[in-house]
Every structure is written in structure tokens, then in C-alpha cells.
Structure 1
Amino acid sequence: MNKTSMNSVFKLLCTFTAGVFISACGGSGGAESPPLPPPSTPVQPEQPLVPNPEPATDHAGLVPINPLVPDENEHLSGGAITVFIKNEDAFSGRPTPVKQDFRFDGNFTSGDHIFRTPNQNFGPLLNTSTCQGCHLNDGRGVLPKSENDPFTSMLVKISDAFGQADPTYGTQIQTFSASSFNTSDFSAGWPRHDGSINGTINLGEAFVFIRYEDLNLQYSDGTPVTLRKPIYYIRDLSFGAFVDDIQFSPRISPQVFGAGLLEAIPSEHIEALADQSDSNGDGISGKVSRVTNVITDADAIGRFTYKAQTPSVLQQAAAAFNGDMGITTTLFPNENCTQNQLTCLNDAALERNPDTPDVSDRELAMVEFYNRVLAVPARRGYNENSNAWDEDILRGRTRFFELGCASCHTPRHKTGIAKGSELGEITLTGLEANPSDIAFLSEQTIYPYTDLLLHDMGGQCEIRQETDQGLSCESGADCLYVQRCEGLADGVIQGNAIGSEWKTPPLWGLGLVQTVNPNATFLHDGRARTIEEAILWHAGESSDAQAAFLALDKEARADLLSFLKSL
């Protein structure tokens, strides 16, 4: 519930309790109130009394969520597609409605297979050869183990200072060429300084590695905590220099379950949460990401990726095929080579059936379906037999509201009608027009803990060219691009999202991230080793919440973390 709704409820309570709790509701304190006159006999009105106003509702038309008492079915985070799995398969669940329908089950299985299997025409440039290569167990990716290991489930978006693509490298660094995945030598396609300029060998575009600096903080009770601040280094540019004002945005692959439910949230519900000018004065000014649906060419609300740059699961899947794997579709029919990358263009022309999309519409629709219906894990800490939550989780839940976390991480939504694929209805042999709605994604009350809006998290970045020893340089194999940022900013502009703005990530499944993948970390670039560290990196619009968390004592912090781990 946003602060405006909470204030409305609070004022309503004050009205009904006037004269009893007047000082607690903002009335004068200290002096004793005079005795109230004895009640008089009410005069019967000539006209019927105006009926009591309807109770306040939230952005989804529901009675505002209670900060003190969980909803009856709040443990069912994904509504009808909630599954009770809490092991390494928690993000790969096949929901019951899919299991019970032969056709749905077949489409799910086929989509899963395509998600995990390399396409024969991947590349010529890529970050990984399969969807599963980034989304490990359908969960988050991992950081490289050392400075000498390339990014395999993490990537780097790039732009100039105005959000435009680099004329040579486009909008994303592809670390590998196809030879790293279609030969026995993984390093064969790694980038080398100027290695592809002569037009004879196609290599990955650039090599990125990370170093960390310690950032020390202290809670109000004196407990110390150390964060790690990433510094990004880019070397071995195979196709020459970047544009002069290049910006970098390293991003680790997120978990993918529940996407169909987020897609089915009505646009007007998301718009109702936006407050770009902070008209209610709560310090939170979330804004809607405006993007283009590439099929209809219509304006749409962005919901997916870290800066909410795609409006649908379909478009996100096709964009990932193209940008991450070098796989073409009818949505993105061109290889991810720029006109300045002759070796990439030459290799693309040698692919089997180069004028035909690498993935057919039917195959793409299956991957879309798989991603849309991947089940959401149920909450932990709730006993269905006794209808009771663990006490520390209840205390932590209340604390979550008190600290203002729910101002961005909106706990609850209700989906509208989940339309079928824009590509058509999947059949045994192809696709048919007028696909059916997906009933089990429709009209569901869900608990994803996101408003899907962009928020300014503060900070700024500086990029320099320097040697590994920190000396200034301008060119050459030993001259690296180095990005240092304050806060969570990345400097990259995408659509109407500026370099310090990020979409509020969903928190459902948060406590299972490191169960699904023990090496997983948190935040957009994986810098946070724990949920606690992720909270402490909050700044910008969330500065007040972060400061309030720092002020908590050890027990209160533990309660809040217990709640978050139950999600």
C-alpha cells in the first residue's frame, strides 16, 4: 500500500475515534480535553442518510493490504501457479494447471527443451549458446571466479552518453564468437586486441573483468558491515576502440519464473502507482518505462529487464535470443553484427539458410509459453494446518512496511486477462490465429513485491582509460577502459530510464536464490553477497529506508531478514 493510501486509512481511523485517541491522531497533546456534552436525542432527517462511503481501495481495486495482518492466501505468491518446492528446482516448477492439461504440458516440455538446447545457428557473436547458460536452473547467473575467467552468465550493456548504440559494438558486448562453442577449445573465440580488424578471423568483442574495493559501514548499535564496491575493466577490444563517451552497464542474469503473471498485470494498475513528480511528498517518484512493442509498433509499458526495456515475455525472449546468443527470429531478423564488423557479417552469411530465422515462430511461441507459466515457489514460514505464520516473519513483515520498503516493492497485485501469444495458438503442426486466453494466469491475486516502475537509486559513474597499474593512457593493448561508479548507477540510458534509474525487481523467491544456485549473489550486477548487503546498497529514492534499516537493532534486523528470506 502506498503512503497516500496508508494516510487515508489513518485519517479515517482518527475520524472514527475522535475524543478517545485524539492526541495519537495528531490533535493537541498535554492539556486535558474538556468533557463532552451529554448526547441529545437525534433528529430524524427528512431525507434518507447518505450511505457510508465505499472503503478505500488500492491500485488494483482491492482493499488495501494490512501491514499488521497477512492476507488469507498470502503464502500463495503466484496464485494458481504456486508450487511447494523449496530445493534446487524451486524456480523450474511445472504448475498444476499445466500438468493437468496434455496440450499445455507438451508445450511446456517443448519450450523447456528449446530453452536448454543450443541452436545450430548461434552466433557469430554471443554471450552464451543457450538460455539456460545464463539463467542457471531458471535462476540467477553467477559472477566469474577470477579476473581471468570471462563472463558466462553475465553481460555488459553499452551506449554513448546519450543512450545511442556504439557504431562498432552496438548495444551489448558479446564476449565470444561461435568458435568457443562449436569447437573443443573454449578460448578459441575469446577476444584479442584488434584481433578482428583485418577482417580474417571473427573473435569475441571485448573481455570484461571485475575488481572490488571495500566499503565499510556501521549500524547504529555499533555492528560493522563491509560492502564490496565493483570496478569494471574492459580489455582486448577485437574491433578497435569504443566511441569516445562510452558507458557500461554490467548485469547478471535474473531468475525467470512468474513472468507471465507480471505481464498480465493491467497497465492501468502500474500507472496508478507512478508518481513521477512525487506529488504526495513521500520521497518516492517512480515512473513508468515507455517502450515500443516491435510486433504492433505501439507504445507499451516496459516490464522486463533491469531497466524495464521490454513489454512482453515474447519480445524479451526474442531480444535475448538475438543479443545474447546471436539467434534470429521474425521479431529480430538481423544478426547482431554491426556494419563495422566485417568478420561477423561474413560468418553470418555462411550459416545454414541465412535468410531464414534461426528459431521459427512456433519454437519461439513454445519458449514464450514456458517462460510465461514457470511456477512461483510458495512462501516459507507458514503452517497451512494451523493457518499461522512464524512470529519472526510477522514482525519482519510489519517492519518492512514501517521502513517504507513497500513504497517501491508493492507486495500485491491482481492480474487481468492473460491473452494468448501474439504469434498465435500452438498446434501440432504450426500456429493458428485467435489464440485462447490463459485462464490460470488470469484474475490471480499475486505477491511479487514490485511496482514495475523505474526509480532513481542515486550515484554516477566515471570512465577513464588507464593501464593495469592505474596510469593514464589513450590507446594500445595495455590501455584498458575502467568504470568506477558511486552507488548503483551505471551511466547507461535506455529509453526513458537514465543512468541511475532501475526497475524495482520482484522479491518473490528471494530466499531461495542461493538454494537454487549456491554461488548466486544479489542486485543487478551481483555485487551484494547477501540480502543484507543488497539493502545497504539502496540510495537515491530509497535513502530513507536504508537509513532506517541502519538504525535498527540486531533483533529487528534479524526479523526483517527472516521475512525477506520467506519470500
Structure 2
Amino acid sequence: MRRALSILRRRRDGTFSPFPGRRWPAGLARVVSTGAFVWMFAIVPGTAGSPELPNLPTSRTDLSAEDLARVTAITRPTTDFSKPEQFEPMQGGAGTSRKRINQDAFSQSSANLTFEEEGTFKLGNGLFRKLWVSSPSSTQASDGLGPLFNARACQSCHLKDGRGHPPEGNADATSMFFRLARQAETEEEKQALADRKVLNFPDPVYGGQLQDLAVPGLAGEGRMTISYEEIPVRLADGTALSLRKPAYGLTDLASGPLDAGTTLSPRVTPQMIGLGLVEQIHPADILAKADPDDRNGDGISGRPSIVRDELSGELTLGRFGWKAQTPSIRQQSADAFAGDIGISTPEVPKHWGDCTEAEKECLALPNGVQERLGAVEAPPPVMDLVTFYSQNLAVPVRRDVGNADVLAGKKVFYELGCASCHTPKFVTRRDAPNKAQAFQLIWPYSDFLLHDLGEGLADGQTVGDASGTEWRTPPLWGIGLTKRVNGHTFFLHDGRARNLTEAILWHGGEAQKARDSFAALAGREREALVKFLESL
């Protein structure tokens, strides 16, 4: 992707005009106020209207000059690690939950919702927990499960609105599943990818996701198998550790083998907190951090994921999902209804979920559409409520921000270069549709870009712009409460890491330098870094 360096001047009335004939040195982006203008020296990824970034804004058009200066100042990376930063405990801005930290820490509503919105949130919570049933059923409003599915409710995958885990011992795989995809094979398919009409192509028999469960009278598609190889690691100070390297497979396939070109990508379900705030980060702030050609020479070359919004048909910025393949929470919810539960929505009107034409027994079963409720199994009011709920799960308040070890660990985090991808702070759009998410200083610790993390973490599956070695930087807020909420400490896209130290040591590719620097630390410094992460 091409990067263009340009200089714009922002008039006091909020409009912009170019400053012709000027270019600013690579790596610089700043705002300078001079007389009638605020000069915006901006590194702009791509160009508006280009095939890479079609009509995506490259500046904060939602802000006045004064607001822009404030945002620039407050989001500047800190250099003072002697004390907490201003507002640092409030990770989710004014919506941060200050309620008691317990197993329900990820299930609280944004603290700045109105009384009426609290009611809407609770209704959405009820639908998020709703158990769907197979058709036909006397509970007609709950008809439509499957026929093939991974779970009966959203909450079954997003346990306590938190992080999923790989199956351990006799535990089921409800919060982990396989994505199935193959590369383009024909010129027509290659063109569809180039036009971003699709992200990739499903297995011709089993579809885009392996469903291990089915309604009565139908067999699930198959079961995942996982085995681990222990890989010894010795750190610079002599500490001996072990990383577990997973190997994945399938058994009990109901309709024969997968296509020879189909890849398996294991995914654990991510936590749900702060999604509405992420949705309201201005695209320009994410694009400004992209450096696909590594022009500044720091070894980090994050790329934006440009996807087609299935609701509008327009190309836009993907920011949700392990590969940043989804542009909005509503689309993410609709995809999950179809793929995970087998429920049709106005956005994805697939009454038989992920069943393919090859799975004729599945397609022969009844669906749950009730004409009096609409043309799909989950009509618009259901989607409205589930989307609102997902947008307003609060980020918990930070703990121990002033602790000496936490501050020391924060300093190590910055010195290792972790903040190059895990961007600490953003200020959300002032023109957000819901006031609760508008103009909030938030601390997600992610740039929401795609990064190559090396062959060690590769799944070999291309998803839109993301290659088989690329992953979206996951937000870190709430990561220290995983044990409290979900009863485990499994991290990364497939839960292979059993703790935060292992998660760091799995980093490769663009993060190899930071990983190696971490491995070279003294034990006390490593412990301080982990303590900082546990405070998030």
C-alpha cells in the first residue's frame, strides 16, 4: 500500500485547505497553531479515493481546532513513569465501570448510559443469553436453532462476556471453533477477492466454519482435535520455560474429507468489553498509525484492513475480529448469529446458517421464520437490542495504577516497543451516534491494524487483506481480569499461551525484537511488566 505525506491547514471554522507544494519528513505528524490557521502536518496512509483507501477520512473532521489540539496533547505517549497519567484509571472514559471487581466485571453496562438506555441494555442482555431451540417448537419466538451450530446462545461462546478457551481435559469446545477457508481457484474468484466482494472462500462441503453440534436427527459436521508439543525456552537470566505448540485436526467428519485446499484457523472467542468505544475511534486516527512500508525503520509495518461493509456495500475500515475482517458490531453480531447459532437476520438472511448445498439433509429441515415476526428468525428489533448490548459493555476501572511495580512495568512496556502496536490511548469521535461513546479518552492498548507476527503464530489462512501470518493487534484492556472472570489465563487467538509470559514469548515477525528484548530482561523487570499487564 502506498503512503502519501501531505500538509493540510485547518481553518478555524473546521474546514480544510491543502498547502500546495509541501511535504513533511517521514515519521512526523503534528499540529501547530499559527494565526488564522491550525497547520496539520500529517502522515496520511494512502490517498482518499485510492483503491487502497477509498474515500476514508485522513484527518479528524469531527473536531474543532481547539479540540484537535487537546486530543493531540492528551494522546501523546507519556515519558513520565513516576506516577499515573491523568484519567488513566478510567480505561473506558466516562463509561468506565466502577462496580466491584468480581466474576461479572465484564458484564456491566457503560456507566454513562441514560435510565432509558439501561433498560435497553438489559433487554439486549436477555437476548444475548437467550437459548434458541430447533424448529418447529411451541416457543415460536425462539425457533430457528441450527440446524448446524456451535452454541445455542451468544453467552455460551462469550462466557461471562469474556475470553474463550481451548478445550481442556473433558471440557467442550463451545468457546473455540475452526474457521474454514480456501484460496481463490478461478479467475472469477480472484476478481471477487480483488474487488473485496468476499474475504475468502468456504470449504465446498462444510462451509466457512465447522459446526460440531446439530439439532435432533442430524449429525454435527465433525470434532476438532488438538495436541500439544512442549517447546523448551531458556531466557537470558537462565530461567527455563516451556511453550506449548498446538497441532490441529478433525475427526468424525460427517460428509467426507475437507477440500484439499481448505485451511483450519482455530479461534477462541474474544472478550466483549469496550466494543462500542472501539467502533467510534475515528478512522483517521487508526490510519495515521499505519506504516506498511516501514518508512520510519522501526521494524513495525502495520496495515489497515479494508473491507466491504455488507450493509452499505461501501469499502471501509475493518476493526473487529482476530483479522480485523469486520467493520461494525452489528455485522459482527449478524455473522455470529448465522455461523455460530444458525439464526438468520436481516443482515445475513441465511435460515439454515452455514449449511452448504452439499449438506442436503441440513437444508431439508424446517427453519424458524415466523411470518408474524418478520422474514427472518431474528428480526430487526432483536438485532437492535443485541447490538446495543454489545456496544455498551463497560470497560472495568484500572487497578493499582500507582503501584511502584506497575509503574516500573509500564516503563518496560514502552521501552521494549510494545506501545508501537498496542497504542495506549485514543479519543473517540465527537460526532458518535450515541453520546455515551462521544469524545471519550479511552485506553484500549491497540492500534487495530494488521501485523505480521511470524510463522510461529501463523494459521495459513488469508482473510481479506490479512495474510496467513497477520493478526489484528488485540486490545489489552481487561486482560488482567481474565482469571477472575473466566477462570483461566489462556491467551492468543487459539489460547495456546497459558499465561502472559508465554503470550509474549510467542510473538515473532514484527514483534520479534520486542519479544527478544523481553527474554533478555532480568526476572524482576519481567515480573514488573506482567504486573502492569495484570493491572489493565
Normalization by structure 1: what TM-score?
A: 0.76
Aligned to 2:434, which of 435, 438, 456? Answer: 438
CA contact (8 A) 2:27 2:295 kept: no
Counterpart position of 1:138: 161
Report how far residue 71 of structure 1 moved: 2.4
Counterpart position of 1:68: 80
Matched, 1:489 2:458: yes
Counterpart position of 2:191: none
Report how far residue 166 of structure 1 moved: 0.9
- State the superposition RMSD in angstroms: 2.7
Matched, 1:92 2:107: yes
Please give the residue correspondences for 1:242-253 in structure 2 after superposition, counting only pairs within 5 Å.
Answer: 242-253=258-269
Matched, 1:215 2:231: yes
Matched, 1:265 2:281: yes
Report how far residue 161 of structure 1 moved: 3.8
CA contact (8 A) 2:27 2:296 kept: no
Q: For residues 285 and 545 of structure 1, what CA distance do their matches in structure 2 show?
A: 14
SS across alignment from 2:248: strand
Aligned to 1:176, which of 213, 223, 226? Answer: 213
Matched, 1:156 2:175: no
Q: For residues 546 and 351 of structure 1, what CA distance do their matches in structure 2 show?
A: 51
Report how far residue 562 of structure 1 moved: 1.0
Report how far residue 519 of structure 1 moved: 2.8
After superposition, the C-alpha distances for 1:167-197 in whole angstroms (9 at most, x for unaligned) are 1111110111023xxxxxxxxxxxxxxxxxx
Matched, 1:320 2:336: yes
Matched, 1:375 2:394: yes
Give unmatched runs, 5+ long, in structure 2: 1-23, 44-58, 61-70, 133-141, 185-199
Q: For residues 441 and 204 of structure 2, what CA distance do their matches in structure 1 show?
A: 45
Counterpart position of 2:9: none
Q: For residues 396 and 470 of structure 2, what CA distance do their matches in structure 1 show?
A: 28
**C-alpha spacing 1:54/1:496, structure 2 compared with 1 (3 Å):** closer
Counterpart position of 2:533: 564
Aligned to 1:337, which of 344, 355, 379? Answer: 355
Q: For residues 149 and 410 of structure 1, what CA distance do their matches in structure 2 show?
A: 35
Q: Which amino acid aligns with 1:124?
A: P
After superposition, the C-alpha distances for 1:69-102 in whole angstroms (9 at most, x for unaligned) are 442101110001101242111101122222xx23
Matched, 1:504 2:473: yes
Matched, 1:126 2:122: no
After superposition, the C-alpha distances for 1:510-560 in whole angstroms (9 at most, x for unaligned) are 100111011351111001110111000000110000000000001111111
After superposition, the C-alpha distances for 1:272-293 in whole angstroms (9 at most, x for unaligned) are 1111111111111110011111
Counterpart position of 1:39: none
Q: For residues 525 and 40 of structure 2, what CA distance do their matches in structure 1 show?
A: 32
**C-alpha spacing 1:363/1:318, structure 2 compared with 1 (3 Å):** same
Please give the residue correspondences for 1:283-432 in structure 2 after superposition, counting only pairs within 5 Å.
Answer: 283-334=299-350, 335=352, 336-349=354-367, 356-382=375-401, 389-417=402-430, 419=432
Aligned to 1:538, which of 504, 507, 510? Answer: 507
Q: Rg: which structure is higher?
A: 1
Report how far residue 6 of structure 1 moved: 13
SS across alignment from 2:365: helix
SS across alignment from 1:216: strand
Q: Which amino acid aligns with 2:77?
A: I
Q: For residues 376 and 513 of structure 1, what CA distance do their matches in structure 2 show?
A: 13
Please give the residue correspondences for 1:48-67 in structure 2 after superposition, counting only pairs within 5 Å.
Answer: 61-63=71-73, 64-67=76-79
After superposition, the C-alpha distances for 1:208-241 in whole angstroms (9 at most, x for unaligned) are 0211100111110101111111111211111222
Aligned to 1:456, which of 435, 449, 452? Answer: 452
Q: For residues 413 and 40 of structure 2, what CA distance do their matches in structure 1 show?
A: 24
Q: Which amino acid aligns with 1:113?
A: G
**C-alpha spacing 1:7/1:240, structure 2 compared with 1 (3 Å):** closer
SS across alignment from 1:173: coil
Q: For residues 5 and 134 of structure 1, what CA distance do their matches in structure 2 show?
A: 47
After superposition, the C-alpha distances for 1:40-78 in whole angstroms (9 at most, x for unaligned) are xxxxxxxxx999x98999998512121324421011100
CA contact (8 A) 1:150 1:208 kept: no
CA contact (8 A) 2:26 2:296 kept: no
CA contact (8 A) 1:270 1:453 kept: yes
Q: For residues 406 and 228 of structure 2, what CA distance do their matches in structure 1 show?
A: 33
Please give the residue correspondences for 1:512-527 in structure 2 after superposition, counting only pairs within 5 Å.
Answer: 512-527=481-496
Give the % identical residues: 41
Q: For residues 423 and 279 of structure 2, what CA distance do their matches in structure 1 show?
A: 15
**C-alpha spacing 1:561/1:56, structure 2 compared with 1 (3 Å):** farther
Q: For residues 350 and 438 of structure 1, what CA distance do their matches in structure 2 show?
A: 33
Q: Which amino acid aligns with 1:127?
A: N
Give unmatched runs, 5+ long, in structure 1: 10-48, 180-200, 383-388, 420-436, 460-486
Q: Which amino acid aligns with 1:218?
A: R
CA contact (8 A) 1:396 1:563 kept: yes
**C-alpha spacing 1:379/1:167, structure 2 compared with 1 (3 Å):** same
**C-alpha spacing 1:177/1:267, structure 2 compared with 1 (3 Å):** same
Counterpart position of 1:114: 127
CA contact (8 A) 2:158 2:271 kept: yes
After superposition, the C-alpha distances for 1:462-509 in whole angstroms (9 at most, x for unaligned) are xxxxxxxxxxxxxxxxxxxxxxxxx10001111111111000000000
Q: For residues 125 and 91 of structure 1, what CA distance do their matches in structure 2 show?
A: 29
